Structure 1
Amino acid sequence: MIVITIDQRKSRSGPDKVESLLSRLASDYEATRGFERTAGDEIQGVFEDGTVAVILALDVAHTGEWSVGIGVGSVQTPMPRETRAGRGPAFEYARDAVERAKNTSASLALSGPGDEAERLEAELQILALVNARRTDSSAEAGILVSKGLTQRQVAASLEISQQAVSARLTSGLWYEAARLADVAGRALDSYSMTMDEGEPA
């Protein structure tokens, strides 16, 4: 199982943004157990789908307003209806991950048993840094492509040449990052499913 813990950065010097994030995540992502505020400015959700978990984690980390911790492991069953009542190693790993995420430039970390966690964390942190360092123009073109538009359609929408769209996508590593995110999501899915068979040593 996959548990994601998200903690607001610099919450003491700014307004509480938890409720608005909870609303957005409930609208945009399907969870096994939806996000709930667990304590203060921290929220937690439970997922079975690794691809969804990766997309969500990168989405939230990209804002720069949150630290995102992904925990992978077993959970006590039957799972309670409320996320904050959940127990098990996945929740403990998520706690470790979010604390480490606070000290990374990617604002994201992943914890779990075995070597696979370290590899997945490295991939996700690279993706988070690529996302963070894109120019606004590259991000604008990439978001439209991610919604299913062709480069020609993006060019028409932005009133620029198709060549300019291609250049923006290339500079932002959009296709490469999308491929890595897809691979990482499927790998996280497989890694999580092994927890049903017992955690590796």
Structure 2
Amino acid sequence: MFVLTVDQRRSRRDIDRVPELLDRYREHQLIRPFDRTAGDEVQAVSDNADTVVTIALELISTRHWTVGIGIGPVELPLPETTRAGRGPAFEAARDAVNRAKNAPVALAVSGPDPAAAEDAETASTLVALLIDRRTDPGREAVALMARGLSQTDAAEQLKISKQAMSQRLSVAGWHIETAGRTLAARLLDAANTTGSHRP
């Protein structure tokens, strides 16, 4: 199982961004949705590594959040509210979010197998660094591709040639990002030896 513990960065100098986060991920496929645990911290529970990677990278890219991913078993049955959950995955997520505050991209992964968790953390960090270092034109091009547009349609929308679009995506590392996300999710699954639970 995966537990996401997410803490708002620089919250004393910023607005409360928790309501926006809760609304954004309300419809995501999570076993237990994000729930405010205390102050500007939220938690969610998932058994899907792809979902965890997607949410973690989205949150990190905003630069407003510190993300901890905990791996391990949880006490079943899960309570209705995420904040009432207990078990090793919740403890691992607490450790991860605390370590993430000093990590290169504000992300950390903890679990029962430290080496496996470190591998998943490294892969996720590399993808996050790739995204963080994109230029604005690169972000714009990747965003259009993420919406499902073809390169030709995206180029037309940006009023550039198909060749220029291809070059922007190459410089932005779009294909590498896709492979990196897959690798990060695969490594999270490998680190998760507790099986899955469906509500």
TM range (shorter): over 0.9
Q: Where do 5+ consecutive residues of structure 1 fail to align?
A: none
Equivalent in the alignment of 2:30: 31
CA contact (8 A) 2:68 2:107 kept: yes
Query: Which 4+ runs in 1 deviate beyond 2 A?
Result: 189-192
CA contact (8 A) 2:111 2:191 kept: no
CA contact (8 A) 1:151 1:162 kept: yes
Cα distance in 1, alignment partners of residues 59 and 90 from structure 2? 19
What is the percentage of aligned positions where both structures have the same residue?
A: 46
3-state SS of paired residue (1:81): coil
Cα distance in 1, alignment partners of residues 67 and 120 from structure 2? 14
CA contact (8 A) 2:8 2:65 kept: yes
The reply on whether 1:148 has 2:148 as its aligned counterpart is yes
How do residues 88-127 of structure 1 correspond to structure 2 at under 5 angstroms?
88-114=87-113, 115-127=115-127
Q: Where do 5+ consecutive residues of structure 2 fail to align?
A: none
TM-score (norm 2): 0.94
Question: Structure 2: which amino acid aligns with 1:104?
Answer: A
Cα distance in 1, alignment partners of residues 56 and 63 from structure 2? 12
The Cα shift of 1:190 comes to: 4.1
Equivalent in the alignment of 2:71: 72
CA contact (8 A) 1:76 1:87 kept: yes
Equivalent in the alignment of 1:135: 135
RMSD: 1.3
Question: Structure 1: which amino acid aligns with 2:98?
Answer: E
TM-score (norm 1): 0.93
Equivalent in the alignment of 1:157: 157
The Cα shift of 1:128 comes to: 0.8
